[in-house]
Amino acid sequence: MKKKIAIFILLLGALMQINAQEKKTVRIPLIGDKAPSFTGQSTLGEINFPGDYGKSWKILFSHPKDFTPVCSSELLELAYQQEEYEKLGVKIVVLSTDVLNMHTSWVKALEDIKYKDREPVKIKFPLVADDNLMISNKYGMIHPSVSIAENIRGVFIIDPQNNIRSINFYPMQVGRNMDEIKRTVIALQTIDANENLLAPANWNPGDKLMIPALSKSESENAGKPGSNIEQVSWFMNFTEK
């Protein structure tokens, strides 16, 4: 009888532990948080993120599986833009939950494709293996009540101080807009270089920026000759930089 009670207690404890793990909240690192660090094996060798990339801007793209159609289209579009990101001082790291050998095969296959009437492109950024989901857990991308890997489709933009500046998650059925990701990077770099200015909706490089608040003299002179301030309302003011 005592043996049966002991077994029952052990089973009960195990079930409680499993239940606690299932209910454990997965925390996504928020904007302003330091980017979680990790060491991983990639198609370009071992990397230590974000330390290996110094004072560069960084983008971490995550994918649930290799050879998936939408993710494949995203990697190709990203590869066609990689020279533009290099000019912006941005380092790209791609994460996928398959093993390293699968990553290598995927890259090789992608580099043979003529996508949208463009010549094949060499993929110069690393694909990191996260088959144990360690990195995905660090970045809060596991949603076990829905799918272990399906929701690992995040994009984290990280500044030179390794602070997370932008976070986006995308469904598996909808491809990411690479131009929007690039626009966000440029907008963040622009407002960092211009203190107390903001990027309005649909802002693109060369567009006017917004001023959060005007001084009394700026408000009085807005729109007059010599002023570079355009006032559309007392709470919406634009300037060229």
Catalytic machinery residues: 71
Q: What tokens appear for 40 in the block? A: 């991983």
- CA end-to-end span of the chain, whole Å? 82
**Residues contacting 221, CB < 8 A, separation 6+:** 227, 229
User: Are 162 and 36 within 8 A, CB to CB?
Assistant: no
- State the Cα–Cα distance between residues 82 and 124, nearest whole angstrom: 8
* DSSP code, position 208: P
Three-state SS string across 6-67, please? HHHHHHHHHHHHHHHHHHCCCCCCCCCCECCCEEEEEECEEEEECHHHCCCEEEEEEECCCC
CA–CA distance, 161 with 35 (Å, rounded to integer): 9
Q: H/E element holding 166?
A: strand 164-169
